[in-house]
């Protein structure tokens, strides 16, 4: 395993982060335990979860993922060895069952954090992330910003930072980050943090993969120059970039077969781009999983790559990507495909 410190923190994390959003939906509690055991044995020390999980989101299962992790932490006593991250749900229609009024008010931050700590059975989080903006922007499948004139959101960034400052000073959170945020949103948070001497966001968790490199437009330069690391999720495009759908090794329970609403990764453009990436991998004696994850692992704006799996074989292969170094020829071939079919799954 390789390790890297998240800029402006003392959090030294594995380059592979264990994502957990399938636990409670596609995975049982026992399977979640087995994944955590394997990940820790392989040197992974960074777990990411959210109050919203598991996904797909359902009222009856909301919070189960954190409960599974909490039970495992109590069973193993591993909390002291791990960097633990979770998220508060932003204002999105699919999260309305969590609380009557979503968003990052002081009351919501306090409630969400205390419930996450209770489910996780811990006294603090190393990283607490704002999961989606409260503004109506940055939706899945939307490449460009479209201003919603009916959006009644009022700029409350300073209030959010002030409340996070209080929470951090209480010892329940060490650092905070963003998720699914835009360049404007990151800029506002950074500017207000600097001008009001308030906590600074240290990370941003957005999608990034061979099928979605939109982070490179605007946010990557901000990430590098402002030292706000990307913690990418969906680096395999919901499993499309494993190659199993093209190789006909997929099963009915696989994510894109089971959840038909995840259309951006199975669109005609995503399918064709994946076919071309698979050819590159096969020509260079790589699996597509290895190539796709290795490409993400070594981007200069990334500290840790959030991988997910539904079985131990997948998890082991994902973790093994840390040992793959792509050649200049492979990267050139990848970029040629990207130039021809850019960002088919925003």
- Per the CATH hierarchy, to which homologous superfamily does domain 3-205 belong? NADP-dependent oxidoreductase domain (3.20.20.100)
Instruction: Band the pLDDT of 143: cuts 50, 70, 90.
Output: low
User: Residues of the chain with pLDDT > 90: what percent?
Assistant: 82
- pLDDT recorded at residue 100: 86
Q: By the 8 A CB rule, do 204 and 231 touch?
A: yes
Angle of helix 288-297 relative to helix 312-320, nearest 10 degrees?
Answer: 50
CB 297 within 8 A of CB 216: no
For residue 246, give Cα distances in angstroms to 2, 86, 249, 270, 345: 31, 34, 8, 12, 17
Query: Per-residue pLDDT averaged across 188-194, rounded?
Result: 97
Mean per-residue pLDDT, 255-267: 80
Average pLDDT over residues 27-33: 97
Cis peptide leading into 310, omega within 30 of 0?
no
Give pLDDT, residue 94. Answer: 82
Residue carrying structure tokens 């990370």: 203
Tokens of 63: 């919070």
HSE-up (13 A, CA, CB side) for residue 14: 26
CB-CB contact of 296 with 208 (8 Å): yes
Average pLDDT over residues 312-329: 97
For the segment 98-105, the average pLDDT, to the nearest whole number, is: 89
Local structure of residue 197 (DSSP, 8 states): T
How confident is the prediction for the chain on average, in pLDDT?
Answer: 94
Least confident of 33-37, 92-96, 172-176: 92-96
The model's pLDDT over 272-315, given as tens digits with 9 standing for 90+, comes to 999 999 999 999 999 999 999 999 999 999 999 999 999 999 99
Catalytic residues: 53
> How many Cα neighbours within 13 Å face the side chain of 333?
17
How many other β-carbons are positioned within 10 Å of the β-carbon of residue 14? 25
> Span 191-202, mean pLDDT?
98
257: confidence class by pLDDT, cuts 50, 70, 90: confident
Query: The pTM is what?
Result: 0.94
Flag whether pLDDT at 138 surpasses 70.
no
What does 138-160 look like in DSSP terms, one character per residue?
--TT--S----TT------HHHH
Q: Distance (Å, rounded) from C-alpha 47 to C-alpha 215?
A: 22
Is a pLDDT exceeding 80 seen at residue 260? no
Residue 171 has pLDDT above 90, yes or no: yes
User: Do 87 and 233 contact (CB within 8 A), yes or no?
Assistant: no
Radius of gyration of the chain (CA): 19
């Amino acid at each position: 395993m390789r390790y890297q410190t998240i800029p402006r923190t003392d959090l030294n994390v594995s380059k592979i982060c264990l994502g957990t959003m399938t636990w409670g939906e596609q995975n049982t509690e026992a399977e979640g335990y087995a994944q955590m055991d394997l990940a820790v044995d392989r040197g992974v020390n960074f777990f990411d979860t959210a109050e919203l999980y598991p996904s797909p989101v359902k009222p009856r299962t909301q919070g189960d993922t954190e409960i599974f992790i909490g039970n495992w932490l109590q069973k193993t006593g591993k909390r002291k060895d791990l960097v633990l991250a979770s998220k508060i749900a932003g204002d999105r229609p699919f999260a309305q069952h969590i609380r009557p009024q979503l968003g990052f008010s002081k009351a919501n931050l306090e409630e969400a954090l205390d419930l996450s700590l209770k489910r996780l059975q811990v006294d603090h989080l190393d990283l607490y992330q704002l999961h989606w903006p409260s503004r109506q922007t940055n939706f899945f499948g939307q490449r460009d910003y479209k201003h919603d004139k009916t959006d009644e959101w009022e700029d409350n960034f300073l209030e959010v930072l002030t409340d996070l400052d209080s929470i951090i000073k209480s010892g329940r959170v060490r650092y905070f980050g963003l998720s699914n945020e835009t360049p404007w949103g990151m800029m506002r948070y950074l500017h207000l943090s600097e001008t009001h001497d308030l906590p600074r966001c240290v990370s941003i968790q957005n999608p990034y993969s061979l099928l979605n490199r939109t982070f490179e437009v605007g946010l990557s330069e901000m990430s590098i120059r402002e030292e706000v690391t990307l913690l990418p999720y969906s680096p395999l495009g919901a499993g499309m970039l494993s190659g199993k759908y093209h190789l006909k090794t997929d099963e009915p329970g696989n994510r894109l077969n089971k959840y038909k609403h995840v259309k951006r990764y199975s669109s005609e453009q995503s399918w064709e781009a994946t076919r071309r990436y698979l050819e590159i991998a096969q020509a260079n004696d790589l699996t597509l999983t290895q190539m796709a994850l290795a490409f993400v692992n070594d981007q200069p704006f990334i500290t840790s790559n959030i991988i997910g799996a539904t079985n131990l074989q997948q998890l082991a292969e994902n973790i093994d990507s840390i040992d793959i170094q792509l050649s200049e020829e492979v990267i050139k071939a990848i970029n040629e495909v990207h130039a021809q079919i850019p960002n088919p799954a925003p």
